[in-house]
Amino acid sequence: MKNKLFLFMLVLVMSILGACGTAEKEESTNGEGSATEDKKVLVMGTSADYAPFEFVDTENSNEIIGFDIDLANAISEKIGFEVEVKDMDFNSLIPALQAEKVDFILAGMSPTPERDEVVDFSIPYNETVQMVVTKKDSGIEKVEDLAGKTVGVQISSIQEELANEVAKIVDMKVESRNLIPEVVQELMTKRFDAAIIEDIVAENYVQRNAELTYFPVEVDEADYKVAVLPEGSDLKAQFDQAIQELIDSGKIEELQQKWFVVEE
């Protein structure tokens, strides 16, 4: 009887300890990541249709790669966390951040006043120029030539905002698509007469397609790429410091050389 009682008590104690361990593992992250034995895991939201910032090289693997992925890993080394990448449509990113489904965003995103009302931005890590991409036989050589034309952009992007501003001056139609490859496909099939895409992304498409060309859109203020964080998050100060250190050390320039130099 004593042996049976001892075994019963031992099993009971082990069950209680196991339940406590499970409860700790299932603790909510509240938008600030989850803990592992060694490092905190932060979920990064991105939209993997934006080479060379984030994309899938389907010829080699299903892994998401690109400048922003390498940057996230470099920041993680500075701050001490592991990165889990979650892919979604670009226009779903900020709602996912607000709903605490992701802890931060790196997706070639630029600050806007509307976004600034609901999220926080890191210091800039890259400056970009916006380009009008057209087919060489389109006859479109300057912004004024877009009058009466249909211009494609990615939905909820800085390019969509820019196109709508241009449309107030030049009488053109603006249409949006979820993904950049969809925008380019519509351009190639002449459903769009032109598209507005940022410089390094546009250059990747132009270099790989002899039918395409581009020219810059002149704007009053430069566009910058930033990390996007929950409003009031303690992560902002950590990201700012890490990004500044990566700029000062030349690491970001190294990543730009790796991802932004388009082979002829």
**Buried (b) or exposed (e) across 127-147, using 16+ Cβ within 10 A?**
ebebbbbbbeebebeebebbe
Choices 3.40.50.720, 3.40.190.10, 3.40.50.300, 3.20.20.150: CATH for 130-216? 3.40.190.10
What's the token pair of residue 78?
């500075």
**Can you give the pLDDT at residue 35?**
55
Cis peptide before 181 (omega within 30 of 0): no
Interval 87-134: pLDDT, tens:
999 999 999 999 999 999 999 999 999 999 999 999 999 999 999 999
Can you give the residue ranges of every domain in the chain?
34-127+224-260, 130-216
What CATH class is the domain 34-127+224-260? alpha beta
Q: What is the pTM of this model?
A: 0.80
Q: Classify 203 as helix, strand or coil.
A: helix
Interval 214-257: pLDDT, tens:
999 988 777 899 999 999 999 999 999 999 999 999 999 999 99
